[in-house]
Amino acid sequence: MRKIVRLFPVLSFALCFSALSATSVSPNISGTWTGSAAGRGYKVEVDQNGNQTNMVETVSATLSVNAVQSGTDLTLDVQVTTANDGTNLVTFTGKAGDFALWATAVQTNQDSTEQIFLSGIYASRGDKITGTIVIYKDQHAAQLSFKLTKSVAKLSRAAGAARAAQSIPTATSRQDGPFNVAGKVSGSSYTLATNAKAAKYSGTMTGAFADTSATLTVTAADGTLTYDVTQTGTDGAIVLFGSGGLGGSESFVAFLKTSNNAGVGTAWVFSQTRLVQVKLTAKKQ
């Protein structure tokens, strides 16, 4: 009997320690990161006679990132190095927490302005980030997967050509409406100010596309939410971007590869308080 009694304090401590260890705290990701990104870009090229050709190109880059996180506020100074363009510095702003992040940026080149969206997921140790970068402008859509590893080296902001912050432009819409679509969404949601980790998210989606815009309606556990979006891209891939959702204050970005009147890809809903990342499948009705 005494042996059993003596086991209770040890057992109680073990159970308490196990409960505390099961709840991981979302780490602060401030610091320097290095890695790479690769994917494909889809664009329309117009020759001197006005003839249009859909083009697909391979896109790759090395990345050096200086991250500053304060609460859920996030700033990323990203040095992007490519074989053709050398090194450029792009500054992203966004949110981080609950083991996930999102950020946006605008990059101005000589002849165009690109809009960039970035989303990432990281492990409890906070030493690796994996995610997706979506780049879009007039009749141009690209999606890259990236991997980052935390580094001990310090990144200098002076390196590369800094990009001035500008207001988000409106990309050219594709002129192929009107039509309706229906589909499904399935993935995860993250509440940025918590340590809850990914919660399952699924639902149905309908959309009404006009010549210059579209209205998407997503029905899921958080209700029936509407997003007003614009589309740009080519016949092979499109990006949808806009706003709406909870309180009308959420942003929406989706990258879809299209063929045979159907689209398959990834969609993101992001705001000051949450990130939703889902696989989206849709088909014309």
Q: pTM of the entire structure? A: 0.84
Angle formed at CA 26 by CA 193 and CA 91, multiple of 5 degrees: 75
pLDDT at 172: 55
pLDDT at 38: 97
pLDDT at 163: 38
pLDDT at 13: 43
Q: Give the whole-angstrom CA distance, residue 265 versus residue 263.
A: 7
Question: What are residue 243's DSSP bridge partners?
Answer: 228, 251
pLDDT at 173: 54
Amino acid at 11: L
Q: Give the whole-angstrom CA distance, residue 78 versus residue 113.
A: 17
Q: Is the dihedral angle over the CA atoms 265, 111, 167, 93 positive or is it negative?
A: positive
The 8-class DSSP code of residue 213 comes to -
Amino acid at 91: T
Q: Give the whole-angstrom CA distance, residue 280 versus residue 285.
A: 16
Tokens representing residue 261 in the block: 């009147």
pLDDT at 107: 85
Place of tokens 């005494």: 2
pLDDT at 266: 98
Mention every residue, 6+ apart, whose C-beta is less than 8 A from residue 260.
none
Q: What is the pLDDT of residues 52-101, one digit of tens each?
A: 788 899 999 999 999 999 999 999 999 999 988 899 999 999 999 999 99
Q: Give the whole-angstrom CA distance, residue 144 versus residue 215.
A: 26
Residue 260: its H or E element: none
Identify the CA nearest to 89 among candidates 101, 81, 98. Answer: 81
**pLDDT > 70 in the chain, percent:** 82
Q: Is the dihedral angle over the CA atoms 159, 163, 165, 171 positive or is it negative?
A: negative
Q: Is 176 exposed, middle or buried (0-12, 13-18, 19+ CB in 10 A)?
A: exposed
Question: Which stretches within the chain are classed as H helix?
Answer: 2-22
Give the Cβ contact number of residue 36 at 10 Å: 14
Identify the CA nearest to 77 among candidates 27, 137, 31, 129. Answer: 31
| Max intra-chain CA distance, the chain | 95
pLDDT at 23: 53
User: pLDDT digit of tens for each residue in the chain (285 aa)?
Assistant: 444 444 444 444 444 444 444 458 999 999 999 999 999 999 888 778 778 788 899 999 999 999 999 999 999 999 999 988 899 999 999 999 999 999 999 988 766 788 999 999 998 888 999 999 999 988 889 999 999 999 865 544 433 333 333 344 445 555 566 889 999 999 999 999 999 989 999 999 999 998 768 999 999 999 999 999 998 888 889 999 999 999 999 999 999 999 888 999 999 999 999 999 999 999 999
pLDDT at 20: 41
